Structures are given as structure tokens and as C-alpha cells.
Amino acid sequence: MNLSVIGLGKLGAPMAAVMAHKGNTVIGVDVNPAYVTAIQQGRPPVSETGLGEMIEANRSRLSATLDYQEAILASDVTFIIVPTPSNPDGRFSMRYVLSAAEKIGTALRKKKDWHLVTLCSTVMPGSTGGRLLPALEWYSGKKRIEDFGLCYNPEFIALGSVIRDMLNPDMILIGESDERSGGILENLYRGACESHPRIQRMNFVNAELTKIAVNTFVTTKISYANMLAQVCETLPGADVDVVTAALGCDSRIGNKYLKGALGYGGPCFPRDNVAFSAMARRNGVPATLAEATDQLNRRQAPRIAEMILSRLPEGGTAGVLGLSYKPDTDVVEQSQGLAIARQLVSAGVRVVVYDPAAMESAQPHLVGNVVFARSAAECARQADVLAVTTPWAEFRGLTAADLKQAPRPIVVDCWRALDRAALASSAEFLMVGFGAGQPPECAQEAAAEAEGD
């Protein structure tokens, strides 16, 4: 098929590349000339695993332009993947979507053939049919179903694995204006996806609600695991990994996102949970669970920062390994590691940081007594207390020789990512979700026996 993708950022560029890889002719559109030039030259406009190779391999079917009309007239289906930033009340703004709608509608005025417009950006329930559709009809002078179709089709992906997730989704979610529009998208994805996903077709509002409900449910699961980890820390002998492994065996629960460690971050989970709460309150529904999830998540970084500060010697240096919100991305938005580093700096502590990909992204957010190390080992050698805040695979290679030699350092391993057995003789370990020592009942029994003797 002939496709156009409006927005060549973190999601749009991979989608354009994936669809070209699957044999479609794709033309991308962006207001940023640098992004357009990158695509035209066969380079990735953004950092994402495998994106450069996929763009280079499909240059014959992939192009880009600044001109909306050129893209619309040359395609049969248009995907809108533009930002929907959060408003002060937590709900998503439609200003970039409506700006794109104006340009798409104006181009549709000059097109004789039927056209499908598909919105992929996350929006509040009621937005696709209530705001985007009227805008398209107004600017195009045409009517839904008769002249064009409209779908809502959000992605369920994670930065760092966007291409893999697009090729192998669990589900394709389609909110459709009509049977024809939904059918076109279903056929397109059946040819593009390698995982044979379940395809869920429904009306706009159900699809919009499903999108933010999925992310809200996942964040609740993450916060539950983190609460459980904190409980485990109070019970000698308790191990959150052992407990969650057993919980995940229950088919009603499952083991995905059930890792007691640090809070969630990134550009989607935090704001989607807040948006869900805002929507519920606006409609007079208590958002107790979503609000509790958000509150618990906001407490994670201060909790770890306090753990570090309580063990840091006077004049000591704190090390933070991991500034991106997750491995395999340079994104630091709502990053737990970045939040911890900032709190340590605010407390007047000298902080040394390292991340394999996010050093440049993090620098504008870290001002003060901060050292940006050139490697994980360089960061570790300077740290009296070293915190592993993002589970990059690179960090697992740290050895005893990489740690500060004297005084004996403390390692706060938030993800249980390091080889504790290999490092235990050179460092004291504090592991999130792990209660050291004897269980309380064993200690009480031992004391009673001692008294009896």
C-alpha cells in the first residue's frame, strides 16, 4: 500500500521504517527539516535500536517531505503520530493533532480518491470522534465514510524495542468509524506483524479508553511489586524475587512487570496514569487506585536517595549508574535514576554518574556538583555508595577491581543486576526487596533457647 506517516519522532520514524520493510511505499512528514533530511539520506532521525539499519535497507520504498499535500496525494492511508503533551490538569492536549488535521484536511480537498486517516497518538476518550473528526470534515469539506475513513490505532510499545514490538505485538487495537476503515487497517497489520496478534476492533471511545486503561493497569502492577519489595526489606530472610516468581505462576497475575525494584518512568506510563485519574475525577468517579499507584511511584526515588544518604560518609561521593528511564534508550523523561541523582545533588552531595546512552540527554537536568564519568568502572571507582538505578546489561560486567578500594564501598543494587557473589568481598550490598538476617520468629526462638540454657 501507499502510506504516509505524519511525525517522524520516536514512534513515527520506526513505524515508517517497519511499514516500508514490509513492502509498503511510505512517505514521512515532519515539521523538523533535520528529521526529513535524515530519512532522505538513509539515516535515523532519532535513536532507536535497529532503526538505522532498517531505514538504510528500505531506502527505495521510504522517503520524507515537509509538504503535507505531497504526502497525502501520494498515499492511501495516513498515520498521525504527533505529540499530545499533558495539560496542567493531567489530560492530553490535542493542539498538535488538530494542527495536523488542518493540513491533512486541506490536502484532502484536492484529492478525488477515498482516503483513510489513522490517529496513533494517545488521546483522551472522546477526542477522535469529538474533535479530530469534525476538524477533518471542516478543513476538507468532505464527509466521513463517504469521502474518507477515520481510525484510532495507538501503539503498545517500549522505547528501545520499538521495532521489535511493532513487528511482534500482543494486540492490535483499532477504533473505527466504519467497517471499511477498520478492515483496511486489519489487513495492513496482518501483512506487517510477525506474531499473528489478536486484532480488537471497536468504536473510538472504547479504543481510547482501552489504551490508557492498559497502561494504568501495568503501572498498578509495577507499584504493587515495589510495595511488596519494601515490605520484604522489613522481614529478615524475605526476597521479593522469590515471592514475585511464585506470584507470576498464577495465570490470573502473570510475571510481566512484576519486578520489585524502582518506580516506572518514561514518556508514557506516568502521564497515562495521571490522565486516567484526571478523566475519572472529571466524570465524577473516584480514581483511588490510580492515584495510590501514582503516589507510591513518586515515593520511590526519594526512598532510594535517603537510603544512599543514610550510608554516605561525611564528604563522601555517591555514584549513580543509570540515567535513562530504562535500558536501550537515551530517554531520561521521568527517569528514576535521574531523579535520585538530582535529589543527592540538592542535598549537597558530590555525585558521579554514568549511563551508556543518556549522558547527553541528562546533562541539562543535572547542574551542580556532578561528575559525568566516561564508563561504569570510572563511576564505580569514585563512589563511596554506588546505586544501580537502570539495569543496563553493561553494568553486570563490573568486577571487584572496578569498585572503590578504600574505604569499602556500599552498593545499592536496585535491580539485583550485579554479581553479588563476585563482589561481596569488596563491597557491602544493600539490595532493594531483600531482607537480610534471620526471620524474626527464628531470632525469637533462638533468644528463648538461650535464656533456657
3-state secondary structure of 320: strand
In this prediction, residue 436 carries a pLDDT of 76
In DSSP terms, 115 is beta-bridged to 148
The domain over range 300-431 is classified in CATH as 3.30.300.20: no
In this prediction, residue 437 carries a pLDDT of 60
Q: Please state, as a whole number, how many other Cβ atoms lie within 10 Å of the Cβ of residue 49.
A: 15
Topology annotation, domain 212-298: N-(1-d-carboxylethyl)-l-norvaline Dehydrogenase; domain 2 (1.10.1040)
Residues (pLDDT < 50) of the chain are 438-453
The closest alpha carbon to 212, from 126, 98, 151, belongs to 126
The residues, ordered by sequence, that sit 6+ positions from 421 with a Cβ below 8 Å of its Cβ are: none
The closest alpha carbon to 124, from 217, 201, 200, 209, belongs to 209
Q: What one-character-per-residue DSSP string does 350-381 give?
A: EEEEE-SS-HHHHGGG--SSEEE-SSHHHHHH
Place of cell 532510594: 304
User: What residue ranges in 30-91 does DSSP mark as E strands?
Assistant: 62-65, 77-80
CATH 1.10.1040.10: which residues of the chain? 212-298
Report whether 87 contacts 113 (CB < 8 A). Answer: no
What distance in Å separates the CA atoms of residue 176 and residue 45, rounded to the nearest whole number?
31
What distance in Å separates the CA atoms of residue 300 and residue 226, rounded to the nearest whole number?
8
Q: Please state, as a whole number, how many other Cβ atoms lie within 10 Å of the Cβ of residue 422.
A: 11
Sign of the Cα pseudo-torsion (81, 33, 69, 1, in order): negative
Domain 2-202, CATH: 3.40.50.720
Sign of the Cα pseudo-torsion (126, 132, 133, 134, in order): positive
Catalytic residue among 120, 232, 268, 414: 268
Q: What one-character-per-residue DSSP string does 108-172 give?
A: HTT--S-EEEEE-S---TTHIIIIIHHHHHHHH---BTTTEEEEE------TTSHHHHHHS-SEE
- In the sheet where 317-321 sits, what is the strand order? 370-372, 350-354, 317-321, 385-388, 410-413, 428-431
| Phi, psi for 48 (deg, rounded to 5) | -160, 140
The residues, ordered by sequence, that sit 6+ positions from 135 with a Cβ below 8 Å of its Cβ are: 98, 101, 102, 105
In this prediction, residue 451 carries a pLDDT of 40
Helix pair 204-233, 240-248: axis angle to 10 deg: 140
Please name the residue ranges forming H helices in 299-412.
Answer: 300-311, 336-346, 359-362, 376-382
The closest alpha carbon to 259, from 327, 323, 211, 320, belongs to 327
What distance in Å separates the CA atoms of residue 408 and residue 425, rounded to the nearest whole number?
9
CATH 3.40.50.720: which residues of the chain? 2-202, 300-431
268 is an active site residue: yes
In this prediction, residue 441 carries a pLDDT of 46
